[in-house]
Chain A
Amino acid sequence: MVNKQIIDNYRELALSLGASDFAHSGDTVYIVVDRERLRGLAEALYWKKNCYFRTCAATDETKINGFLALYHIFGDDRNGLNIVVKTYTEPNNPVIPSISDIVPAADWCELEAYDLVGVEFSGRKLYRFMLPPTWPKGLYPLRKDTPYNYRPGLPVSGERISESPVSAVVPVGPYHPALHEPEYFELYVEGEKVVDVKYRGFHVHRGIEKLAETRMTYQQINFLAERICGICGFEHSVCYAQTVEKAAKIDVPERALFIRSIVLEVERIHSHLLWIGVAAHLLGYDTGFMHSWRIRELVMYLAELLTGSRKTYGINLIGGVRKDINEEKKKKILETLELVEKDFKKLVDTMLGVPELVKRLKGTGILPREEARKLSVVGPVARGSGLDRDIRRDLPYAAYSYAEFKVPVYDDGDNLSRLLVRVDEVLGSISIIRQLLDQLPRGEIMAEDIEIPEGRIATSSVEAPRGENVHFIITGRGKPYRWRIRAPTYQNIPALKIMLEGENLADAPLTIASIDPCFSCTDRIYVIRGGNRYRMILPRRY
């Protein structure tokens, strides 16, 4: 339970800065503030109170109260608090002051709100960000009067982000051997040094939020949430389910919470093993890649045994889980974990004994601590840059309060630190699974009557392998009125610019991979025709 003193401090702060409303429920504080006073409050929260920025969610509430609303979500991780700041604006002149100069982490989500809901931000440059450049002006997919299946019939054409006369441009993507997802980076180079990076993503924008708000029902969305990302999908579905459960105040049986935690950790192990393999491959150490994936295959088999599918597990529902863990499976888990732990330790030992590998990891792709804080980066990227944050410990969910674990933090901010964080986390996850299996309580795995009232607001976070997922929900009738997803990579990509600048071009693929980018999470939304002027870097495909 959150200390009352802390809540009072927030109340005082908010009211002194002109908030018009203040409420508190569970681990979330709600503040309503006028447009004019938003910037002052954001500055106080982000810099004085030292809160992290989670995300912002623009919502079309014209059907409820005639306004558009913008929710900025901050997180006070040390005290285990979410802070939701709400601002209203009129739909005919939807202008809200931008906070992206005070809170650099808010840059992307403001652009997204502009693109999808049509909220204008004063005091910053706005441009087409998420939707294709040819998308019709004035058509906002997330407004309630736009049908979810309206397809404007766009012309088929390509683009480059911008022209640069001085430096040579190395386009990376969208179909590039080093990326297994369609994303487009332009690296501007002088000689061998990268001087600037531009990014055009959102090739994987599939309209998930809109789909959930229109065609689907509460229980169906669990399966949609899982398909936000195929690698860390279970985190998304847990996050969705627990946000709805929080909003509707549903008591989930303890056994279900334990099973969720166990499967979450299984997913973390496979995801990190995957990443370590890919990193080894990018460094030209294919032996490491093959062995890492060989070990991972055991975990995949385990995941299938526990859930019924190798990925996109499909065992989550609001109110509990669909599949139980019996004694036989428990034994199998412990056996597999032992094998994985033994093999993994040996492999990492050997990998880190390769001098060339360590040399290329150490001191490359540096993200200093201050920059990391400024951009509110999450997950292993934050922990590799000395930020001690982990949602599993700070705002415990599922069954994490029953397990003891150490949050690994390294201060160097380079690629090696991020690798070491992930290595430690694999071992940590193995220990968490063992502890939870030991304490697995008896009982039901599904809550009985599930009733979800309308008009409730909730936000919650889950620590995915790549960092925290944030889901924000306003409940509606039979389906969410608004569902906003913030994936970890969304917060981490802006940090790439800092990591890549001044780097050698040869280190760029590894550095891009070092944030473990998961673009399908990020986009929920280019073959560039190379003229003679451009050189392509083509490392081998992994």
Chain B
Amino acid sequence: MSRFLKKSIWIFHLNTGSCNACDIEILDVLTPFFDAERFGVKLVVSPRHADAILMTGPVTIESLPKVVNAIEAVPRPRILIAMGSCGVGGGIWHDTYSTIGGVRELLKILEKRGIVVDHVYYIPGCPIRPEAIIYAIGLIKGLVKKKAKMKVKTAE
């Protein structure tokens, strides 16, 4: 994909109010069966050390300010990976009073505040399987081909 990501991607895990299932699968990716460190992926403890933010959850209004701060702290070029049906589309609670409804709304807020996100990736799944995370890593590094494609069908 992008030139600067040919090497190891360091990731900061940002839970913005998800139900935990995706977060546990992220940990699962690091354990023996899947072992994402094969691809040089490493979870880091501070956004300042990260290449990419792995975002789960629909972004609750309580966590929003902290999420914005965390994303701002990532050095450029920033990559935001929205995970799970909450992260990508707001999930089952996409329109409740205490969430903002996923990454698309978040990107609007970031844009308003002048925070640039260079690349955005989306991984649907509820919860995402560990393999789906590895597939996404492969996609970022250019190891696999993209399969998803918009489809418009006419019923006749």
**Is A–B contact present in the complex under a CB 8 A cutoff?**
yes
Residues of A within 8 A of B (CB): 131-132, 141, 146-152, 154, 156-158, 174-175, 177, 180-182, 202-208, 210-211, 215, 223-224, 227-231, 233, 274, 289-290, 293-294, 297, 300, 309-312, 518, 520, 523, 525-527, 529, 538, 540-542
- Contact in complex: B96, A210 (CB < 8 Å): yes
Chain B residues with CB below 8 A from A180, complex form: 13, 15, 20, 23-24, 27
What number of B residues sit within 8 Å (CB to CB) of A? 49
Interchain Cβ contacts under 8 Å between A and B, 11 examples: A148-B97, A156-B65, A181-B15, A202-B62, A206-B98, A312-B19, A312-B21, A525-B98, A526-B63, A529-B69, A541-B43
Question: What CA separation (Å) do A289 and B58 show in the bound complex?
Answer: 29
For A223, give the chain B residue with the smallest CB separation.
Answer: B92
Chain B residues with CB below 8 A from A228, complex form: 19
- Contact in complex: B69, A311 (CB < 8 Å): no
For A173, give the chain B residue with the smallest CB separation.
Answer: B66
Q: Which of B45, B57, B113 contacts A541 (CB 8 A)?
A: B45
Q: Which of B21, B23, B66, B68 contacts A174 (CB 8 A)?
A: B66
Residues of B within 8 A of A (CB): 13-25, 27-28, 31-33, 43-45, 47, 57-58, 60-66, 68-70, 73, 91-93, 95-100, 109, 113, 126-127, 129
Q: Which of B20, B57, B69, B92 contacts A231 (CB 8 A)?
A: B20
Other contacts beyond A141-B98, A180-B13: 7, CB < 8 A? A174-B66, A227-B19, A231-B20, A293-B33, A520-B18, A527-B69, A541-B45
- Contact in complex: B92, A518 (CB < 8 Å): no
- Contact in complex: B22, A182 (CB < 8 Å): no
Chain B residues with CB below 8 A from A290, complex form: 31-32
Chain B residues with CB below 8 A from A154, complex form: 61, 64
Q: Which of B18, B23, B99, B109 contacts A207 (CB 8 A)?
A: B99
Chain A residues with CB below 8 A from B44, complex form: 541
Chain B residues with CB below 8 A from A131, complex form: 62, 98
Chain B residues with CB below 8 A from A215, complex form: 95
- Contact in complex: A310, B129 (CB < 8 Å): yes
Question: What CA separation (Å) do A131 and B45 show in the bound complex?
Answer: 27
- Contact in complex: B32, A203 (CB < 8 Å): no
- Contact in complex: A233, B21 (CB < 8 Å): yes
- Contact in complex: A174, B17 (CB < 8 Å): no
- Contact in complex: B31, A206 (CB < 8 Å): no
Given A294-B33, A526-B66, A541-B45, check contact A230 B17 (CB 8 Å).
no
- What's the least CB distance linking A466 to chain B, in Å? 12
Chain B residues with CB below 8 A from A231, complex form: 20-21, 24
For B20, give the chain A residue with the smallest CB separation.
Answer: A230
Chain A residues with CB below 8 A from B68, complex form: 156
- What's the least CB distance linking A201 to chain B, in Å? 9
- Contact in complex: B96, A527 (CB < 8 Å): no
For A231, give the chain B residue with the smallest CB separation.
Answer: B20
Q: Which of A210, A229, A233, A538 contacts B45 (CB 8 A)?
A: A538
- Contact in complex: A311, B45 (CB < 8 Å): no
- Contact in complex: A150, B45 (CB < 8 Å): no
For B126, give the chain A residue with the smallest CB separation.
Answer: A312
Question: What CA separation (Å) do A274 and B25 show in the bound complex?
Answer: 11
Interchain residue pairs A-B with the least CB separation, the first 4:
A230-B21, A207-B96, A230-B20, A293-B31
- What's the least CB distance linking B70 to chain A, in Å? 5
- Contact in complex: A230, B96 (CB < 8 Å): no
Chain A residues with CB below 8 A from B27, complex form: 180, 293, 542
- Contact in complex: A230, B63 (CB < 8 Å): no
Chain B residues with CB below 8 A from A151, complex form: 61, 97, 100
- What's the least CB distance linking B78 to chain A, in Å? 15
Question: What CA separation (Å) do A206 and B30 show in the bound complex?
Answer: 28
Best-surrounded residue of A203, A208, A300, A309 (most CB of chain B within 10 A): A203
Best-surrounded residue of B58, B69, B73 (most CB of chain A within 10 A): B69
Best-surrounded residue of A150, A182, A233 (most CB of chain B within 10 A): A182
- Contact in complex: A182, B17 (CB < 8 Å): yes
Q: Which of B66, B69, B93 contacts A206 (CB 8 A)?
A: B93
- What's the least CB distance linking B125 to chain A, in Å? 10
- What's the least CB distance linking A137 to chain B, in Å? 15
- Contact in complex: A132, B61 (CB < 8 Å): yes
Chain A residues with CB below 8 A from B70, complex form: 175, 527
- Contact in complex: A181, B20 (CB < 8 Å): yes
- What's the least CB distance linking B25 to chain A, in Å? 7
Question: What CA separation (Å) do A35 and B7 show in the bound complex?
Answer: 67
- What's the least CB distance linking A243 to chain B, in Å? 19
Question: What CA separation (Å) do A175 and B72 show in the bound complex?
Answer: 14
Chain B residues with CB below 8 A from A141, complex form: 97-98
Question: What CA separation (Å) do A131 and B97 show in the bound complex?
Answer: 10
Chain A residues with CB below 8 A from B73, complex form: 527
Chain A residues with CB below 8 A from B17, complex form: 182, 203-206, 520, 523, 525
- Contact in complex: B15, A182 (CB < 8 Å): yes
Question: What CA separation (Å) do A224 and B18 show in the bound complex?
Answer: 13
Chain B residues with CB below 8 A from A177, complex form: 45
Given A156-B64, A310-B127, check contact A520 B14 (CB 8 Å).
no
Chain B residues with CB below 8 A from A297, complex form: 28, 31-33
Q: Which of A146, A158, A207, A227 contacts B65 (CB 8 A)?
A: A158
Best-surrounded residue of B25, B61, B62, B64 (most CB of chain A within 10 A): B62
Chain A residues with CB below 8 A from B127, complex form: 230, 309-312
Question: What CA separation (Å) do A91 and B45 show in the bound complex?
Answer: 48
For B33, give the chain A residue with the smallest CB separation.
Answer: A297
For A183, give the chain B residue with the smallest CB separation.
Answer: B15
Question: What CA separation (Å) do A520 and B60 show in the bound complex?
Answer: 12
Question: What CA separation (Å) do A198 and B67 show in the bound complex?
Answer: 22
- What's the least CB distance linking B145 to chain A, in Å? 25
Question: What CA separation (Å) do A419 and B82 show in the bound complex?
Answer: 35
For A314, give the chain B residue with the smallest CB separation.
Answer: B126
